C-alpha cells in the first residue's frame, strides 16, 4: 500500500469526475495534490476544483516555471506519482522527455528518483465519449500522434499507463 502519493491533476475534462470519485474513496493513503495551471482552470469549469482539493492533505497550484516541488521525489517524500487525468499535452511532453511544466517536471524527476508513476491518459482510444462543461455528450477522436505518445509512455520503465478509471482504482487498491 502506498502511504503517500503525489497526485497531479492536468487540464482534462475527460475522466475528471471519475478521478474525483476515486480520490474521495481512497482510504489509508495521504495525498498531496498539484494542479497544473490548466488543471485548476478546467476543474473549476467543471465545478470540481473544491471537491478535488478537499480529498488532499495538501493542495497546490502550479505557480512557478521551474517546478521547485519536484525536488521532493529525490528526497523520498512520495511512494508514487499519479497523473490523472493526464492531458494529451502532458503525455506528449512526458513521452518526449520534455520537462517544462509542473506535470512534465514531476514525471521526469519521479523517473530519475525511481518513484513509480501511474498515468491515466485521456487520449488512449481512437474514439472517446466525453462531456462538456454543460454536460453535453461529445465524441472526441484522438489523433495518431496522441495515441502514439500514450503507447510510448506505456513502455517507460517504472511507468504504469492505465486506460480507465476502474483500472486506476485497481492499481491503487493492489499497491
Ligand atoms: C473545458 C476543457 C476541457 C479539456 N479537456 C481536455 C481533455 O479531456 N484532454 C486533453 O488532452 N485536453 C483537454 N483540454 C485541453 C488542455 O487543458 C490543454 O491542452 C492544456 O494546455 C493542458 O495543459 P496541462 O497538460 O499542463 O494541464 C481541455 C480544455 C478545456 C478548456
- Measured in Å, residue 124 CA sits from the centre of ligand 1 at 14
Of the CA atoms within 13 Å of residue 152, those in its CB half-sphere come to 15
Q: What is the pTM for the complete model shown?
A: 0.98
The share of the chain scoring above pLDDT 90, in percent, equals: 99
- Write out pLDDT tens, residues 125-158: 999 999 999 999 999 999 999 999 999 999 999 9
- The pocket around ligand 1, CB under 6 angstroms, is made up of 10-14, 36, 38-39, 42, 45, 87-90, 101, 103, 122-123, 130, 133
Atom 21, ligand 1: residue with shortest CA distance: 38
| pLDDT, tens digit, 9 for 90 and up, residues 49-88 | 999 999 999 999 999 999 999 999 999 999 999 999 999 9
CATH 2.60.40.60 fits 4-174, yes or no: no
What is the arrangement of strands in the sheet containing 58-61, beginning at the earlier edge strand? 58-61, 30-35, 4-9, 80-86, 117-121, 159-161
- Using DSSP, state whether 18 is helix, strand or coil: helix
pLDDT per residue as tens digits for the range 85-117: 999 999 999 999 999 999 999 999 999 999 999
Distance 125 CA to ligand 1 centre (A): 16
Per DSSP bridges, beta strands 137-140 and 128-131 are antiparallel
Return the C-alpha cell found at 71: 525536488
Which atom, in ligand 1's list, is nearest to the CA of 122?
9
Amino acid at each position: 500500500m502506498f502511504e503517500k502519493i503525489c497526485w497531479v491533476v492536468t487540464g482534462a475534462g475527460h475522466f475528471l469526475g471519475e478521478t474525483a470519485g476515486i480520490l474521495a474513496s481512497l482510504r489509508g493513503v495521504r495525498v498531496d495534490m498539484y494542479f497544473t495551471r490548466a488543471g485548476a482552470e478546467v476543474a473549476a469549469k467543471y465545478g470540481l476544483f473544491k471537491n478535488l482539493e478537499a480529498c488532499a492533505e495538501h493542495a497546490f497550484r502550479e505557480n512557478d516555471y521551474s517546478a521547485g516541488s519536484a525536488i521532493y521525489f529525490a528526497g523520498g517524500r512520495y511512494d508514487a506519482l499519479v497523473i490523472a487525468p493526464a492531458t494529451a499535452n502532458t503525455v506528449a511532453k512526458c513521452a518526449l522527455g520534455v520537462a517544462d511544466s509542473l506535470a512534465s517536471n514531476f514525471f521526469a524527476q519521479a523517473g530519475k528518483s525511481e518513484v513509480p508513476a501511474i498515468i491515466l491518459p485521456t487520449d488512449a482510444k481512437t474514439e472517446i465519449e466525453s462531456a462538456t462543461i454543460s454536460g453535453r455528450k461529445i465524441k472526441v477522436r484522438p489523433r495518431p500522434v496522441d495515441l502514439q505518445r500514450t503507447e510510448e509512455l506505456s513502455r517507460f520503465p517504472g511507468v504504469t499507463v492505465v486506460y480507465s478509471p476502474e483500472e486506476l482504482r485497481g492499481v491503487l487498491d493492489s499497491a
